[in-house]
Amino acid sequence: MAPHEQLLLTIPDVMAQLQLGRSTVYDLIRTCRLPSVTIGRSRRVPAAAVRTFVAELAEVAA
């Protein structure tokens, strides 16, 4: 992990990285396909969870 890499991503960050809409990202979180944490009133997605999600998609596609 690079020293400047974010550990937790906001929903807009996840939307940009996955090129998905807000509703789709929240659906992935709601169905537990994309883990997230709540800190106060803020929802965050671990960067590692996004990488794992993409890797799992690639495995299914192969």
Q: What is the CATH number of the domain that holds 57?
A: 1.10.1660
Residue 15 belongs to some domain of the structure: yes
Residue 2 located in a structural domain: no
**φ, ψ for residue 23, nearest 5 deg:** -60, -40
- Quick check: is 54 in a domain? yes
Query: Residue 54: which domain range?
Result: 8-61
50 Cβ partners below 8 Å, 6+ apart? Answer: 9, 14, 17, 18, 34
Question: Whole-prediction pTM value?
Answer: 0.88
Q: Into how many domains does the chain fold?
A: 1
**Could you tell me if residue 46 is inside a domain?**
yes
Are 13 and 6 contacting, i.e. CB atoms less than 8 angstroms apart? yes
Residue 40 lies in a domain: yes
How does pLDDT run across 3-59, given as a tens digit for each residue? 678 899 999 999 999 999 999 999 999 999 999 999 999 999 999 999 999 999 998
Residue 52 falls within a domain, yes or no? Answer: yes
Buried b (16+ CB within 10 A) or exposed e, 19-37: eeeeeebbebbeeeebebe
